[in-house]
Amino acid sequence: MQMIYRNRTRTPQTTVAFFLVILIIIALITRWIDIIPFGYFFQSIITGSRNNFKLQESPQIYSSDFNCSLNCSETSPLPKITINSLPESCPEYFRWIHEDLKPWKETGITQEMVEKAKDVANIRITILNGRLYTEKYKQGFQTRDVITIWGILQLLRLYPGRLPDVDLMFECDDKPVIKKKDYNNKNTNASIPPPLFHYCGDESSYDIVFPDWSFWGWPEVNIKPWEILKEELKEGSNIIKWEDREPYAYWKGNTKLGAARHDLVKCNKSEDGKARIFNLVWKKEKKQGFNSSDLASQCTYRYKIYVEGLTWSVSEKYILACDSMCLIVKPRYYDFFTRSLLPTIHYWPINETNKCRSIKFAVEWGNKHTNEAQEIGKAGSKFVQENLRMKYVYDYIFHLLNEYAKLMKYEPIVPEGAEEICSETLICSVKGAKRRFRKHSMVKSPSNSLPCTLPPSYDSQDLRGLQERRENLTKQVAMWEESERANTRGQSILK
Ligand SMILES: *[C@@H]1O[C@H](CO)[C@@H](O)[C@H](O)[C@H]1NC(C)=O
Ligand SMILES: *[C@@H]1O[C@H](CO)[C@@H](O)[C@H](O)[C@H]1NC(C)=O
Ligand SMILES: *[C@@H]1O[C@H](CO)[C@@H](O)[C@H](O)[C@H]1NC(C)=O
Ligand SMILES: *[C@@H]1O[C@H](CO)[C@@H](O)[C@H](O)[C@H]1NC(C)=O
Ligand SMILES: *[C@@H]1O[C@H](CO)[C@@H](O)[C@H](O)[C@H]1NC(C)=O
Ligand SMILES: *[C@@H]1O[C@H](CO)[C@@H](O)[C@H](O)[C@H]1NC(C)=O
Ligand SMILES: *[C@@H]1O[C@H](CO)[C@@H](O)[C@H](O)[C@H]1NC(C)=O
């Protein structure tokens, strides 16, 4: 008390000097305790950072040194920790979890239903008492399946002891596979589709949407884990102010994937075209050390186009994160967060049958309405920067698995032929970029806050309202486009 009292009478300079000395002493102490083993714990409280992880929020952290000579069954289970803080509520898009699981709401999920998906699934994932077992049915593309398992293992590290036992089938290719039309006979057992997890869905499928692997990094094409890339994109979008960016619509990617992209290339050629389209040949990129595909340095255009490839594309979050107005060519597929994006609020809708004209109009509109265009750009970025924080990606999976487990009508067991996989296995078995990305995306400490609280399901009126709102907003743009066209027609007649 006396100290504080006396401090008041000091000059500001001496007070600053005093705190500097204190800070230096603290720094020295933390250096020192770093040498002793439990220094880790103290250091985490005092300095709040090691491996760039926010430790002040967390009472304990996991050892970052894996013992690679242990097999999974020898690793000790992660203890559940007590959490006292009240959870916040989840973003709106979590409500789609209820929609995705609706087909099994009345019937529940039986073992037969799950196993019916064996023929189409790449892997089966079974979680029992916080341990993960997997069985591989068919080889998927690159390491999508393994990274997906890695993601779930990290979830188990984030919320130790809180995940229910589950047994599920996962499909890792591009296209949704459980077609609605195959299960529309209400009176037979065949009317119930097999529950299958997948990265995307569409209006005609029952696939249960699960965050794609790219959130933990895509080592094959050098796309870093989202937690890191998200920050890089935030910095990248601060480099050039919106007004100073190229006043065109930019897209760079693999133009060979899908008809829509093929079509988009044509917009590059048109004389007064406002599109700047660049093809990315990943094989060549790899040879050049990925020197022209860095995402954070691509925030240099006022407008950025999103177009689907074979189905959904992992690029949507990167494109939205640039503070540029995102021009979304009407998508057919959705992933776990995109169903809550709204046209003219988070992005600008582009007519899929008339892309070039529609892009041209969007760019001209934005260059005339720069404030509005910037606002749309900012709203899209804010959506991904805030609602798509890694914590929410984990929370989404947490709730999805939790709701799924509630529907399960059986106690899962380790399937015959399944093997246990743990973070150790997946770190120790790889090197290079794969290992680096896994180390970067590893959950370093259990969460000290609970998963956010899951919002209730939509009722049919909510859903209709949402769809109508989306349609109305899109129609508005179509009308502007149309009247602009009528005007220019009028002008050319006058000329
Ligand atoms: C790793 O595990 C092996 C096998 O249990 C054990 O002999 C060894 O001492 C452990 N190494 C470390 C550094 O803990
Ligand atoms: C893992 O270690 C345990 C205990 O040492 C042993 O019983 C088990 O056979 C090992 N499993 C594998 C797959 O090596
Ligand atoms: C099919 O439905 C009947 C009656 O509804 C039920 O008894 C039977 O267990 C079901 N079979 C499967 C494989 O779900
Ligand atoms: C689009 O045009 C630019 C500039 O003329 C060119 O550099 C680029 O290669 C073109 N893109 C494609 C996919 O042809
Ligand atoms: C990338 O590297 C290749 C070959 O090393 C070089 O030709 C090219 O100019 C580089 N591109 C950029 C954008 O730095
Ligand atoms: C959509 O537009 C129609 C007709 O303009 C209007 O009646 C309706 O309230 C709008 N719906 C929403 C959700 O904005
Ligand atoms: C897209 O353009 C086509 C052709 O001009 C038009 O028929 C269609 O109504 C447009 N779609 C939307 C959603 O505006």
Q: Which of 254, 257, 263, 278 has the most ligand 4 atoms within 8 A of CB, as the residue to mutate?
A: 278
The answer, yes or no, to whether residue 9 has pLDDT greater than 50, is: no
CB of 214 closer than 8 Å to CB of 312? no
User: So what's the pLDDT on residue 64?
Assistant: 76
In total, how many domains does the chain have?
3
**Rounded distance from Cα 296 to ligand 4 centre (Å):** 21
The answer, yes or no, to whether residue 32 has pLDDT greater than 70, is: no
Shared-domain flag, residues 38 and 133: no
Residues 412-434: tens digit of each pLDDT: 999 999 999 999 999 999 999 99
Q: How far is CA 420 from CA 12, 209, 234, 326, in A?
A: 61, 24, 38, 42
Report the nearest-CA residue for atom 6 of ligand 1: 69
What is the distance between the alpha carbons of residues 204 and 319, in angstroms, rounded to a whole number?
A: 26
* Long-range contacts (CB closer than 8 Å, 24 or more residues apart) made by 456-460: 456/95, 456/98, 457/95, 457/98, 457/99, 457/102, 458/95, 458/98, 458/99
CB of 315 closer than 8 Å to CB of 306? yes
Shared-domain flag, residues 194 and 144: yes
What is the distance between the alpha carbons of residues 206 and 201, in angstroms, rounded to a whole number?
A: 7
For the stretch 218-243, what's the b/e string if a residue is b when 16 or more beta carbons lie within 10 angstroms of its beta carbon? bbebbbbbbbbbbebbbebbeebebe
**Rounded distance from Cα 73 to ligand 2 centre (Å):** 6
DSSP type of residue 251:
E
Residue 478 inside a domain? The answer is no
**Which pair of tokens denotes residue 5?**
């009292």
92-96, 146-150, 158-162, 280-284: least confident range: 280-284
Shared-domain flag, residues 103 and 175: yes
Q: Return the ligand 7 atom nearest residue 354 CA.
A: 2
**Which ligand does the CA of 268 lie closest to?**
4
Shared-domain flag, residues 135 and 163: yes
Q: Which of 461, 469, 472, 473 has the most ligand 6 atoms within 8 A of CB, as the residue to mutate?
A: 472
Helices (H) and strands (E) in the chain, counts: 16, 15
Q: 131-136 and 123-128 as β-strands: parallel, antiparallel, unpaired?
A: antiparallel
Residue 185 inside a domain? The answer is yes
Shared-domain flag, residues 447 and 304: no
Residue 413 inside a domain? The answer is yes
Q: Which residue range forms the structural domain that includes residue 42?
A: 2-47
Shared-domain flag, residues 185 and 327: no
**Which ligand does the CA of 190 lie closest to?**
3
376 forms beta bridges with none
Residue 473 inside a domain? The answer is no
**Which ligand does the CA of 425 lie closest to?**
2
The answer, yes or no, to whether residue 35 has pLDDT greater than 60, is: no
Residue 54 inside a domain? The answer is no
Residues 49-104: tens digit of each pLDDT: 333 333 344 456 888 778 888 889 988 888 898 888 889 999 999 999 999 999 99
**Which pair of tokens denotes residue 309?**
């490839």
Q: Which of 64, 68, 70, 72 has the most ligand 1 atoms within 8 A of CB, as the residue to mutate?
A: 70
The pTM assigned to this predicted structure is: 0.86
User: So what's the pLDDT on residue 15?
Assistant: 53
Q: Is 473 in the pocket of ligand 7 (CB under 6 A)?
A: no
What is the distance between the alpha carbons of residues 114 and 194, in angstroms, rounded to a whole number?
A: 6
> Residue 363 sits in a domain of what CATH number?
3.40.50.2000
Shared-domain flag, residues 127 and 200: yes
Shared-domain flag, residues 310 and 361: yes
Identify the three-state secondary structure at position 167: strand
Residue 106 inside a domain? The answer is yes
Shared-domain flag, residues 398 and 369: no
DSSP type of residue 352:
T
Q: How many CA atoms lie within 13 A of 271 on its CB side?
A: 0
Q: Return the ligand 1 atom nearest residue 67 CA.
A: 1
Shared-domain flag, residues 173 and 297: no
Residue 80 inside a domain? The answer is no
User: So what's the pLDDT on residue 78?
Assistant: 87
- Cβ < 6 A, ligand 3 pocket: 112, 189
Shared-domain flag, residues 368 and 347: yes
Residue 437 inside a domain? The answer is yes
The answer, yes or no, to whether residue 234 has pLDDT greater than 70, is: yes
- Cβ < 6 A, ligand 6 pocket: 465, 468-469, 472
The answer, yes or no, to whether residue 40 has pLDDT greater than 50, is: no
Shared-domain flag, residues 163 and 131: yes
Q: Is 248 in the pocket of ligand 4 (CB under 6 A)?
A: no
**Which ligand does the CA of 249 lie closest to?**
4
271: exposed, middle or buried (C-beta count within 10 Å: 0-12, 13-18, 19+)?
A: exposed
Residues 153-190: tens digit of each pLDDT: 999 999 999 999 999 999 999 999 999 988 977 666 57
**Which ligand does the CA of 278 lie closest to?**
4
- Of 325, 354, 387, which residue is a domain's last? 387
Report the nearest-CA residue for atom 6 of ligand 4: 278
